[in-house]
Structure 1
């Protein structure tokens, strides 16, 4: 059975799961899913993973996070045709993906709601909505910090309305304004760019920060990130089954 510091329910009595700082995790979005890693939290693709995968992990008392892209359109998803063309911006560097115009909350709300419904219906405990920092990128739209805050808050509300916990993905500049509305954080490469201290508000709030590095070895960043309370590991960029945790 997987064990680690992991709170079962919200201290606020709302029933949501809130992982505590230091909780170990496994993150896999490509390759044959390895269901045997001895950790209390998995983060896996919401579309590619089935209810049976979630159930198998729950049988080991593992909490399961549903990865979905909330900031970019993906031409390979089954709901790709549901997104109006006017919402699609510049490519984001990943094949088949284009930034979304997050200013159009009315258009995106039902689309993201359906994705979160999928996560709930498959039995996931939480959602990892990716690319919640479009305003920091060349999206093709004049996105502002205020636009991003409004969208990220909508995303958090959609998850919570379905009884799902939700993680803030990257978006370091807005952590002080969003930490109370998200249940944990997911971060990529804060050590490489000297930004890990910016995640401290989550740790101070008793909420886990799930963190990975791609270009650095675990030996290079673990002393710093462990001291900060982050749940860190080295991963391959394609997020296959390989992991080297702190």
Structure 2
């Protein structure tokens, strides 16, 4: 499908911040475990609520916003429903060395296979052992999301199998995301299906609680999500025409925002944020 997710290249400072967050998460986890605390039940985002998509950098949420998505290296917003973004099916650009070499998808020639649009190496989900190992690493990010106080997690690139030159399959993607769902739910987080409307009908079997749909107005796919998730759908559009179609069809039911393609922060000349 057409995934337009925009994640800026992570600088060294952001990487160090991520390490600090993981250390803090481990300390909080240890404290909670010693206290015998139990994770709260997962709840999906509120329906038809003000929404902002801040994966390009955190900033003060605009008035009326009740739901915010931020990268897992950023802190959640106080007093709002917070969704934690993780790149779960592909390696961030330049981050291949942070993965065991055998967990990067390779072709018959032994070459790492990349998502050509984003220059991100696909993660190898072709065996149960590799799915388990990838899920263990991503699971630590999910743990960090929970420890920081996020309410939900958004694992990106669920549809990477569709761009892998048939090296990966939809079945493997679903087997893997079930592992992430189990981890999220153990930590009291809801988990969202990112894009991939062709698998929305399997949401219950895959343990998915809500949907994050990029450009479902633009491509007339919002109904594929609402059939499976009801009103538990948050929508990001990147063009004025897409926002108009999403608002005309679903503005009284879904949480909808238009952002700029770079998902920039206020003050950047490219910054765009519009709602219905």
TM-score normalised by L of structure 1:
0.80
How does 1:226-241 map onto structure 2 within 5 Å?
Answer: 226=251, 229-241=253-265
RMSD of aligned residue pairs (Cα, Å): 2.2
Aligned equivalent of 1:245:
275
Which of 87, 98, 102 lines up with 2:125 in the alignment?
102
Aligned to 1:18, the other structure's residue is in SS state coil
How does 1:1-246 map onto structure 2 within 5 Å?
Answer: 15-31=41-57, 33-38=58-63, 39-47=65-73, 49-50=74-75, 54=76, 57-58=77-78, 61-75=79-93, 81-89=97-105, 90-93=113-116, 95=118, 97-103=120-126, 104-137=130-163, 139=164, 142-179=167-204, 181-204=207-230, 207-217=231-241, 218-226=243-251, 229-241=253-265, 242-246=272-276
- Where do 5+ consecutive residues of structure 2 fail to align? 1-39, 106-112, 266-271
Deviation at 1:161, TM superposition (A): 1.2
8 Å CA contact 1:101, 1:141 repeated in 2: no
* Offset from partner CA, 1:200-227 (integer Å, 9 cap, x none): 23443xx520111113443343101225
8 Å CA contact 1:23, 1:208 repeated in 2: no
Q: How many residues are matched? A: 219
Aligned to 2:258, the other structure's residue is in SS state strand
- Where do 5+ consecutive residues of structure 1 fail to align? 1-13
Bigger-Rg structure (1/2): 2
Aligned equivalent of 1:8:
none
C-alpha distance in 1, partners of 2:81/2:226?
A: 23
Deviation at 1:73, TM superposition (A): 0.6
TM-score normalised by L of structure 2:
0.72
8 Å CA contact 1:116, 1:127 repeated in 2: yes
8 Å CA contact 2:218, 2:245 repeated in 1: no
C-alpha distance in 2, partners of 1:209/1:190?
A: 10
C-alpha distance in 1, partners of 2:149/2:94?
A: 23
Distance change in 2, residues 1:120/1:76 (3 Å): farther
Aligned to 1:193, the other structure's residue is in SS state coil
8 Å CA contact 2:90, 2:122 repeated in 1: yes
Aligned equivalent of 1:4:
none
